Amino acid sequence: MTLDAEPMTAPASRADCEALDRADPLAPLRDRFEIADGLIYLDGNSLGAMPKDASARAHDVVTREWGRDLIKSWNSAGWFDLPVRLGDKLAPLIGADAGEVIVCDSTSQNLFKVLSAAVAMRAERSELILEGSNFPTNNYIAEGVAAATGGRVSVRLCEKDEIAGAISDKTVAVAITHVHYKTGHIHDMAAISARAHEAGALAIWDLCHSAGAMPVDLNACNADFAVGCTYKYLNGGPGSPAFLFAAARHQGQTLQPVTGWWGHAAPFDFEPGYRPQADIRQFLIGTQPILSMALVETGLDIHLAADIGAIRAKSMALTDLFIRLVEERCAGHGFALASPREAAARGSQVSFAHADGYPIMRALIAAGVIGDFRAPDTVRFGFTPLYVRYVDIWDAVDRLALIMDGDIWRQEEYHARDAVT
């Protein structure tokens, strides 16, 4: 697929949006996802939509691989190899080489492993630097890793403009989420990694909100470790296993502390003592949830049929359009852009602050536009270029404008605090 690098004329009508969709090189891929008629799904940054192939794949894993072939599927269906095989498939999407990525466990668990490894690799240092306003599990996990050092290491929380300045010869690692979960701000992976390395620290990246949504080049940035989930832009299914990247140079040089048998050099020799794998598999622990794991592949296969440059170009165009239309059509209704205005600084999502964000989002969901609300006052919209169309942007803002102009969000039913996740 080719990417038209010409700046598009800003669409001024629904017909213009339809024209953009017709010209979109990614448009055919939308058919590979299950999207209900009339639904505008702008929450793929929380849970990606279902690839149509997922249903048949699940059926096959359950009925043939498990039901019929039973125990022999560990070999014949390649269950044992899934973490590495899927990692190798995912690697090109994040600028990693084959053998540097595995799919396993959850993002939180994988972060625990790499932060623990980092703390061991920089045994004379005392600070882990994270972003204070990040999705909190990262900071909670870092707290746990620091606590396990018995006081040697502490967690230093910075906001985005303070990170580079905070890095010093005390820094164990900088562990930042590449795209901020709430604002969509993109951190400069190359600059922060370089600054960390200059100070002798490690650079660890959480790619939850960037993998599959934009080009990521871990090795070009000389990143040390990375983690991320597969259920957002990668469409792996609810809670599908996460991924973990360890640069080839660190493999066999460090040990993560949860030393289970899948990380052993010879897991089937049943040796009495632990002997780590010298490759990426040392970051495995125990038996993986095969069914959830297998479905990761259906999402990856769609990504491998797409051009990540085309994804990024469309992502920027969709988010630009959404911001412009909301600001034009909902002017005076109190929305304040909470994401970077410049597309190059923004991931594939747009947030607006609004004091009544909660009932507004509920009313919008009732109108068939799914976004989400993040306390205290943020309405957040994610744009997955594989299945979100230009015309969806037009229609979503149309419905939002109706809700605002008609004061529909003021209806009592949208204020109960129980439905938006």
Binding to its own copies (CB under 8 A) within 66-105 occurs at 66-68, 70-75, 79, 105
Q: Does the protein bind its own copies through residue 217 (CB under 8 A)?
A: no
The interface region with its own copies, picked from 38-46, 313-321, 389-397, 407-415 by CB under 8 A, is: 38-46
231 is catalytic: yes
358 is catalytic: no
Nearest to its own copies of 53, 307 (CB atom): 53
Catalytic residue among 16, 135, 182, 307: 135
Please state the closest distance from residue 131 (CB atom) to its own copies, in A: 11
Please state the closest distance from residue 393 (CB atom) to its own copies, in A: 18
* Contact (Cβ atoms closer than 8 angstroms) between residue 34 and residue 52: yes
Judged by CB under 8 A, the residue of 18, 19, 99, 108 near its own copies is 108
Binding to its own copies (CB under 8 A) within 133-152 occurs at 135-137, 139-141, 143-145, 147-148, 150
Nearest to its own copies of 66, 301 (CB atom): 66
Judged by CB under 8 A, the residue of 211, 293, 300, 318 near its own copies is 293
Nearest to its own copies of 13, 421 (CB atom): 421
The interface region with its own copies, picked from 8-16, 19-27, 288-296, 325-333 by CB under 8 A, is: 288-296
The interface region with its own copies, picked from 90-98, 284-292, 301-309, 337-345 by CB under 8 A, is: 284-292
Please state the closest distance from residue 25 (CB atom) to its own copies, in A: 25
Binding to its own copies (CB under 8 A) within 325-384 occurs at 365, 370, 372, 374-375
206 is catalytic: yes
Judged by CB under 8 A, the residue of 260, 331, 342, 355 near its own copies is 260
Q: Annotated catalytic sites, by residue?
A: 135, 206, 231-232, 380
